[in-house]
Amino acid sequence: MQQIILASHNPVKVQAVLNGFRKMFPGQLFTLTSANVPSGVADQPTSEGETLQGAHNRAEGAFRQMPQADYWVGIEGGVSYMEDEMIAFAWIVIKSRDGLGKSRTGTFFLPPQIADLVGQGLELGDADDRVFQQKQSKQKQGAIGLLTGNVIDRARLYEHAIVLALVPFKNAVLYELPVE
C-alpha cells in the first residue's frame, strides 16, 4: 500500500488526488493523509511563478512533516492577468523520494465582477461566495463548478492535472527515475 501525504485538508483536493492516483496506477492501493502545510506565498497567489512556488512549498513541507510516506502532494490555486482579463488555474507538484512531477490545470477566465473582488484583495473562493451567495464553495465545486453549472467542478479540474503530474512516475524509465 502506497502512502500519499497531501498538503491540504480540503475534501475537493483529497478526492482529486485519490482519483488521479487510482486512475494512473489501477493495480495499487493508496492511503491518503492530510497535513497542514503553509504555502509560503500569498493567500491568493497572483502569478504563475508564485502559484507554482506555493505548490512546491506545500509538497516539500508535507515531506518534512511526514517523511515516511511514498508521495507528497502540493496543490496551489492562483490567478493571473492575461492582457486585461483575470485567469484562474492551479499548479500541482508531486514529490517522491526519487523524482518530481508537476502539472497545471486548465485555465479559465473569471467574470469581471469576481476578478474585481480578487483584485481588491479577496481570495477567489471568498469572491465566488460573495457573487454566488454561497458558503465555502472552495471546499465544494469551486469557481469552475459555479461558472459551468458543475459540468466541470474543482475536483475534476484538479484530477486531470494530478494525472499529468504522475506521468514521470508512470514512465520512470523515460524520466530516468529508479524503477521499483
Give percent above pLDDT 90 in the chain: 95
What lies within 8 Å, CB to CB, of 30 at 6+ separation is 1, 2, 3, 4, 18, 21, 22
Evaluate if residue 99 carries a pLDDT over 80. Answer: yes
Q: What is the full DSSP assignment across 40-83? A: SS-SS--SHHHHHHHHHHHHHHHHHH-TTSSEEEEEEEEEEEET
Evaluate if residue 109 carries a pLDDT over 90. Answer: yes
The rounded Cα 82 to chain-centroid distance in angstroms is 21
pTM of structure: 0.95
**What pLDDT score does 138 carry?**
87
Q: Which of 23-32, 101-110, 170-179 has the least mean pLDDT? A: 170-179
Domains for the chain: give ranges and CATH numbers: 2-108+152-170 (3.90.950.10)
Reading the block at residue 140, the C-alpha cell is 465544494
Q: What's the CA gap between 176 and 180, in Å, rounded?
A: 12
